[in-house]
Chain A
Amino acid sequence: EADIYQTPRYLVIGTGKKITLECSQTMGHDKMYWYQQDPGMELHLIHYSYGVNSTEKGDLSSESTVSRIRTEHFPLTLESARPSHTSQYLCASRQTGVTEAFFGQGTRLTVV
């Protein structure tokens, strides 16, 4: 059982609001990732982190930002939500080396 948690699971919010999607893992993994997935579509990497104070942009451009102040915590923030941000956001973690990646249950975001 993977110990990686995302909150909230579902969020409906108005345009222009600031939101933070939470992701926490209790496995002590150094690497963490955020993926964006539209319904029925493939996963796109939007942010990743190699460890505390390390953040990098992924392959898909995103207006969101991330931070990694603690090993176990990798929140994603949208300063001003727009309908184009409506999507599912998936967080993952793994430990350096040849190890499995584990995913959270995702946050389904709807911006109205």
Chain B
Amino acid sequence: KQEVTQIPAALSVPEGENLVLNCSFTDSAIYNLQWFRQDPGKGLTSLLLIQSSQREQTSGRLNASLDKSSGRSTLYIAASQPGDSATYLCATQGGSEKLVFGKGTKLTVNP
């Protein structure tokens, strides 16, 4: 059974700092990995999708990498802003077609 772990559980940084969020998974037989953002009391917003054949994806200040063989993905946020404060979730999708989520990293960017 796939297990997804996100470290750290919470992170507080000053505005402008570059940061890395980590996601690890136990079963490397995934089709893709997706990063989401969740604001308090809201639904999930898709940030980046990395297919199993890809190594990384970029969108604006966000860059996600995937190392399937080692069961790891990272989300890099450049020049963080207070508006980036949210919980970031990663989820894997395998043959069962179900998304398996980590518990998330709660990010606070201080002005």
Contact = CB atoms under 8 A, between A and B. Distances in A.
Given A42-B101, A101-B99, A90 B49 contact: no
- A interface bracket (residues with beta carbon within 8 Å of B): 20 to 34
Contacts of A12: none
Describe B's contact surface by its main secondary structure: strand
A100 B46 contact: yes
A31 B97 CA distance: 9
Contact of A42 (B31, B46, B97, B102): B102
A102 interface: yes
Interface in A48-81: 48, 50, 58-59
Contacts of A103: 36, 43-46
Nearest to B36: A103
Nearest to B98: A45
B46 A2 contact: yes
B51 interface: yes
B32 interface: yes
Interface in B62-109: 89, 91, 93, 97-99, 101-104
Interface in B52-67: 52
Given A2-B46, A101-B46, A108-B41, A92 B99 contact: yes
A90 B43 contact: yes
Contacts of A45: 98-99
Interface of A: 2, 6, 31, 33, 41-43, 45, 48, 50, 58-59, 88, 90, 92, 96, 98-106, 108
